Structure formats: structure tokens, C-alpha cells
Chains A and B, each alone.
Chain A
């Protein structure tokens, strides 16, 4: 059982709880590898906030591109963030946008680790539960 505060101390809030749930099935070595990969790939929610704020200067929707939502990104950039309304909603909602993306990255990291090495003989990578 690895402690999330030791491996990924920069996390906070709901993300902290979620990653702790993933790390509780790992020993320290596995958690170390997971933390390295996850830290390199996750998006900080402050970056989402700043890119979202750029929407007020005419470059709306950059945060949607960064988070992999290309369709909405094109829609935002061509309509000035749905006439600012979409930008304002995302400004309120930026933490859950980043959180949703990071959860996806965490699951990708988990399945990648279990594919490459035989690290998790007894962990179901889809749900992270012990089988």
C-alpha cells in the first residue's frame, strides 16, 4: 500500500482521493513508476484556467484543444467561445475539466503499465480492483 502524498504531493481535492484509490493496490516501486508517468502526462488545472482566460482576448477554446476535445475547440475558436458564454461556464468549471482529463490519463497509465511489464498480475486494469 503506497501513500499518494509521498509519490504525488502536488495533487489536491478529488484527484488526490482518486489517485489514492489507485495507489492503494500498489507497492512503492509500482507507485513510483506510476507517479513518474502520471506526472509527465497530467494537465495542471491552472493551465486550463489560463488558457480559458485567453478566450476573452479572442483565442477561445484553447483549453478544449489541450484537453483533447477537438470538436468543441473548433466550435469555440470560430464563435469566440460561443459569444463568451461557453468561456464563462468553463471558467467556473475548469477544475472538473482538468480532473476529468487527468482521470482518463491515470487509467491509460495503469493499462499501459500492465501491458508493458507484468506489474499487476492481480489487478483488473479496467476498474483497478483486485481480482
Chain B
């Protein structure tokens, strides 16, 4: 009996942990860190893209990661020709991370 109630309390704690886990924040920060480790000059590039893995060889987002990576290395002209939205993507994602961190406290607890 005591064992089961302990088990229930643990399950409840895991449940709240999953519900309050800031998935989106982790995703955006992970994406930015991942972009820092891309080698944009390589001929073959590793891709996560589900469309690419399905066999489509072009989509409107192609090259965005490499373009952002080139931007961090200071190669603005190459970045623009790879994908013109790289700067905008940095702005939008950075602002979103800022907002998520700002709301982290208030959205999880009332008051």
C-alpha cells in the first residue's frame, strides 16, 4: 500500500514535469546550437529535413540552415545567395526565445 502511494506520487511528479517542460524553448535553442555546428562549405550536407528524406530535392526552406550558418561566420553575400531569409530568421527566433524566457515564470504558476 505504502509502495503504491509512493509510486503514484512519483508518477504525478513526472506528469507535471512533462506538462511544464518548455519544449518550444528547448527546440529553438537547440536549433540555434545545431546551426553553429553546421559546416556550410561542405559539398555533401547532413539533413534532418523530412521532405529531403522523402525524395523531394527542393522546398522553399532549403538552405536556410546553411544560410544562417554562413551568417554566423560573417559571409553575408554567400548567406544571401543561399537563402535571403537568414537574417530575418535570426531576428524572429531570437525574439521568440526572449518572449518564451520572459513568460517562463508567469505561464507555469498563477501570480
Contacts and interface: CB of A to CB of B under 8 A. Distances in A.
Interface SS of chain B: helix
A71 B95 contact: yes
B48 A75 contact: no
Ranked nearest first, the 6 interchain pairs of A and B with the lowest CB-CB distance are A21-B110, A79-B61, A71-B92, A83-B61, A83-B49, A18-B110
B92 A72 contact: yes
A11 interface: no
A95 B57 CA distance: 32
A89 interface: yes
Interface stretch (B3-11, B38-46, B70-78, B83-91): B83-91
Interface stretch (A33-41, A42-50, A96-104): A96-104
| Most chain A beta-carbon neighbours within 10 Å: one of B64, B88, B93, B107 | B107
Contacts of B89: 75, 79
A78 B106 CA distance: 32
Given A100-B107, A127-B111, A128-B111, A79 B85 contact: yes
B62 interface: yes
Interface string B13-53: 00000010001100100000000000000000000111110
B100 to A, nearest CB: 8
Given A17-B110, A71-B91, A89-B23, 15 more contacts: A18-B110, A71-B95, A72-B93, A72-B96, A75-B85, A79-B61, A80-B51, A81-B61, A82-B61, A83-B64, A84-B51, A93-B24, A97-B24, A104-B103, A127-B111
A13 B106 CA distance: 16
B59 interface: yes
Given A89-B24, A96-B24, A100-B103, A75 B92 contact: yes
